[in-house]
Amino acid sequence: MKKTLTINLGGTVYHIDEDAYILLDNYLNNLRYHFRKHEGADEIVHDMEDRIAELFNEYLHEGHQVVTIREVEAVIARMGKPEDLNDDQEEGETASERTADADPSETATRRLFRDPDDRILGGVASGWAAYLGWDPTWVRLAFILIGLFFHGFIFIYLIAWIIMPLARTATEKLQMRGEPVNVDSIGKAVTDGFERVNESIRSEKTQSVLHQLASGFARFIGGVLKIILVIIAICLVPCLLGALVVLFALALAAVGVLASVPAIFYHIMPYVDWEALGSMSGPAITFALCGLMVVALPVIGLLQLLMQSFGRQTPMSTWTKVLLILLWLIAAGYMMYSVFHTSLFLFPENTFLINN
Amino acid sequence: MRKGMLEYCILLLLHREPSYASDIILKLKEAKLIVVEGTLYPLLTRLKNDELLSYEWVESTQGPPRKYYRLTAQGEDFLAELESAWDELSDTVNHLRYKLLTTTQS
């Protein structure tokens, strides 16, 4: 006996077994991801869905009522795995990407990804566990312990979360586990993807009490952290947007003031030591720009994340992320330094009062 | 090379008669040009975006309406261009093969 679901595929209703549904859903998601850089990706996948519906019709005419996993497998074999569907238009970057991907297929080197199938917060710990070949639960416990004693680690975790890419396709999941990437293993990963989930659910029952306690603890901490993060994120969005506006105005004001004030005051008070003011303008502008960056970069990141979750934007490359984070750190560091160094930079007019 | 051929063949098929995607698949499979059916869809979408093809939704005898592809005027022009390029290429190859054949025979 199997549970069935009702799906609408290409405008026709089908009854489909639960396992067959998971497989089909997986396959369509993989297709969507594969074609994400194509023009008209939605249309391609939509057309393919229509074709799959047609094929189901063909199979179901042979007297069956329900689409089973056998039909879905046959359909996938007919339509082809995402990796088989390379269009000649994907040259340049993707081509080099592919050759880069093809190389480790022989040696089966591991790559660091976040694991989407086994995550509590961002899947960073399980990604490292897969990379190192350890048990995710112990990695998580180690993360929590390090975080308790060394608070900066939380920041490191967040950065790792941002930088480490999520393993989306079957190929990436294989690379994450260090399994060789070839046609067979990809096919296996695509078709067995759902079995792995079942396995992990089943295997939880056979784990030792200590292991269960540990993973329960990790899950609890993860849940609490998640709630805290969401609250912080919700609080931060209006603050960030407000601060962005303020800092932008500040940057404009700083530039405007510095450009116009000396010209006017020079005529009124030629005896003022304008040299000092001139020397202040550089740091003041830098400060305002740094402030702008400190606020703007997270806002851009959040916007990008939002767009991504709506599927409108492809994720940033790792190097872009690293660069932006470095930029942010430099800007933040400079701001802190100048705030501690002197508070006068913000108000360059004050310097002339003092110099007077 | 093979992909370019596939494009040419799709245009050729649609030049002869407008058809559904599934008919194109059937014919291409007969000709052993494609192995997996999914290869066709990105190509069709691209040709459509390049305005070489157009489609309309046509009711079919069974199931929901399907896309019925046909060549546009631009597509016809492009096909004629491809055709002459193909003729030229095959002439060149034939010439070389023929010459090779005669020289090895003599």
Least reliable range by pLDDT among A13-17, A125-129, A299-303, B12-16: A299-303
Strands of A4-9's sheet in order across? A4-9, A12-17, A66-67
Length of chain A, please?
356
Minimum-distance CB partner of B36 among A43, A47, A79: A79
Closest CA to A114 of A165, A189, A170: A165
Most confident of A69-83, A239-253, A256-270, A327-341: A69-83
Per the CB < 8 A criterion, the answer to whether A74 and B36 are in contact is no
Identify from B24, B34, B37, B48 which residue to disrupt to test chain A contact, counting A C-beta atoms within 10 A and taking the largest count.
B37
Q: Do B45 and A44 touch (CB under 8 A)?
A: yes
Which regions of B13-71 does DSSP assign to beta strands (E)? Answer: 19-20, 53-58, 66-71
Confidence of residue A263 (pLDDT cuts 50, 70, 90): low
Minimum-distance CB partner of B21 among A11, A39, A47: A47
Secondary structure (DSSP) of B48-60: HHTTSEEEEEE--
**Residue written as tokens 């116009």?**
A260
Q: Which two tokens stand for residue A260?
A: 């116009």
Distance (Å) of CA A353 to CA A203, A288, A347: 74, 21, 11
Q: Which two tokens stand for residue B7?
A: 């494009």
Give kind and range of the element (H or E) at residue A54: helix A41-60
Secondary structure (DSSP) of A265-333: HHHH-TTS-HHHHHHHHHHHHHHHHHHHHHHHHHHHHHHHHHHHHTT-SPPPPHHHHHHHHHHHHHHHH
- Which amino acid makes up residue A193? G
**Residues in CB range of B59: below 8 A, 6 or more apart:** B65
Residue of B nearest to A78 (CA): B36
Least reliable range by pLDDT among A52-61, A279-288, B16-25: A279-288
pLDDT of residue A158: 79
**Residues in CB range of A94: below 8 A, 6 or more apart:** A37
* Cβ–Cβ contact A31 with B under 8 A: yes
pLDDT reading at A106 higher than 50: no
Size of interface A-B (CB pairs under 8 A): 74
Q: Do B43 and A87 touch (CB under 8 A)?
A: yes
pLDDT reading at A341 higher than 50: yes
Confidence of residue A208 (pLDDT cuts 50, 70, 90): low
Distance (Å) of CA A160 to CA A203, B41, B68: 28, 38, 49
pTM of the model: 0.47
Q: Which two tokens stand for residue B66?
A: 């399907």
**DSSP SS3 for A257:** helix
pLDDT (tens digit per residue) in A287-333:
777 777 777 777 777 777 777 666 655 667 777 888 888 888 888 88
Confidence of residue A36 (pLDDT cuts 50, 70, 90): confident
| Upper half-sphere CA count for residue A32 (Cβ side, 13 Å) | 13
Instruction: Let me know the angle formed at the C-alpha of A340 by A336 and A345, rounded to the nearest 5 degrees.
Output: 90
Q: Which two tokens stand for residue A26?
A: 């997986």
Q: Do A40 and B64 touch (CB under 8 A)?
A: no
Instruction: Let me know the angle formed at the C-alpha of B85 by B82 and B86, rounded to the nearest 5 degrees.
Output: 85
* Cβ–Cβ contact A117 with B under 8 A: no
**What are the backbone dihedrals phi and psi of residue A62, each rounded to the nearest 5 degrees, phi first?**
-85, 20
Q: What is the ipTM of this complex?
A: 0.81
More confident site: A97 or B41: B41
Query: CA–CA separation, A85 vs B6, rounded Å?
Result: 13
Least reliable range by pLDDT among A185-194, A211-220, B51-60: A185-194
